[in-house]
Amino acid sequence: MKSHTIIIAALATSLAACTPKTETKQDKDINTLTFNKEQAAAMAAIACNEAKADYTALAKAINEGMDAGLTVSQTKEALSQLYAYTGFPRSLNALGTLQKVIADREAKGLKTEIGEEASPLPGNYDALAQGTEVQTQLSGQPFNYAFCPAEDYYLKAHLFGDIFARDNLTFADRELITVSALSGLENVMPQLIAHVRGALNMGLTEAQLRDIAEALKANGLQSEASRTEAAIAMVVDGQDKPYSTSVWPLGEPNTAYAQYFIGNSHLAILDPTSGLCNVSFEPGCRNNWHVHHGAVQMLICVSGRGWYQEWGKEPVELKPGVVVAVPEGVKHWHGAAADSWMQHLTYHANVQPGNSNEWLEPVDDEWYGKLK
pLDDT by residue (tens digit) across 318-351? 999 999 999 999 999 999 999 998 999 999 999 9
For position 13, what pLDDT does the model report? 45
Mean pLDDT computed over 206-210:
96
Assign 2 a pLDDT band (cuts: 50, 70, 90). very low
Q: Averaged over 75-92, what is the pLDDT?
A: 98
Asked if the 252-369 domain carries CATH number 3.40.605.10, the reply is no
Flag whether pLDDT at 205 surpasses 80.
yes
pLDDT value at 25 more than 80: no
pLDDT tens, 137-190?
999 999 999 999 999 999 999 999 999 999 999 999 999 999 999 999 988 999
Cβ–Cβ contacts within 10 Å for residue 49, how many? 28
Interstrand relation of 316-318 and 306-310 (parallel, antiparallel or unpaired): antiparallel
CATH for the stretch 2-237? 1.20.1290.10
The per-residue pLDDT for 222 is 81
Q: Give the per-residue pLDDT at 108.
A: 96
Cα–Cα distance measured from residue 274 to residue 312, given in angstroms and rounded to the nearest whole number: 31
In three-state form (DSSP H/G/I as H, E/B as E, the rest C), the secondary structure along the chain is CHHHHHHHHHHHHHHHCCCCCCCCCCCCCCCCCCCCHHHHHHHHHHHHHHHHCCHHHHHHHHHHHHHCCCCHHHHHHHHHHCHHHHCHHHHHHHHHHHHHHHHHHHHHCCCCCCCCCCCCCCCCCCHHHHHHHHHHHHHCCCCCCCCCHHHHHHHHHHHHHHHCCCCCCCHHHHHHHHHHHHHCCCCCHHHHHHHHHHHHHCCCCHHHHHHHHHHHHHCCCHHHHHHHHHHHHHHHHCCCCCCCCCCCCCCEECHHHHHHEECCEEEEEEECCCCEEEEEECCCCEECCEEEECCEEEEEEEEECEEEEECCCCCEEECCCCEEEECCCCCEEEEECCCCCEEEEEEEECCCCCCEEEECCCCCHHHHHCCC
- For 52, list phi and psi in degrees, rounded to 5: -80, -5
Give dist(CA 273, CA 212) in Å, integer.
35
Nearest residue to 331 via CA among 307, 301, 299, 308: 308
Tell me what percent of the residues of the chain surpass a pLDDT of 90. 83
Question: Is the separation of the CB atoms in 161 and 127 below 8 Å?
Answer: yes
Indicate if the pLDDT at residue 14 is higher than 60.
no
Question: How sure is the predictor about 68, in pLDDT bands with cuts at 50, 70 and 90?
Answer: very high
The mean pLDDT of the chain is 91
Residue 21 has pLDDT above 60, yes or no: no
Residue extents of the structural domains in the chain: 2-237, 252-369
pLDDT for 74 beyond 90: yes
pLDDT over 60 at 19, yes or no: no
| pLDDT (average), residues 22-32 | 62
| pLDDT for residue 53 is more than 60 | yes
User: Residue 28 has what pLDDT?
Assistant: 63
Give 239-277 pLDDT, tens digit per residue. Answer: 877 777 677 877 888 999 999 999 999 999 999 998 999
Q: Which residue has the higher pLDDT, 137 or 16?
A: 137
pLDDT of residue 27: 53
pLDDT at 24 over 60: no
Q: Per mean pLDDT, which range of 5-14, 128-137, 191-200 is the poorest? A: 5-14
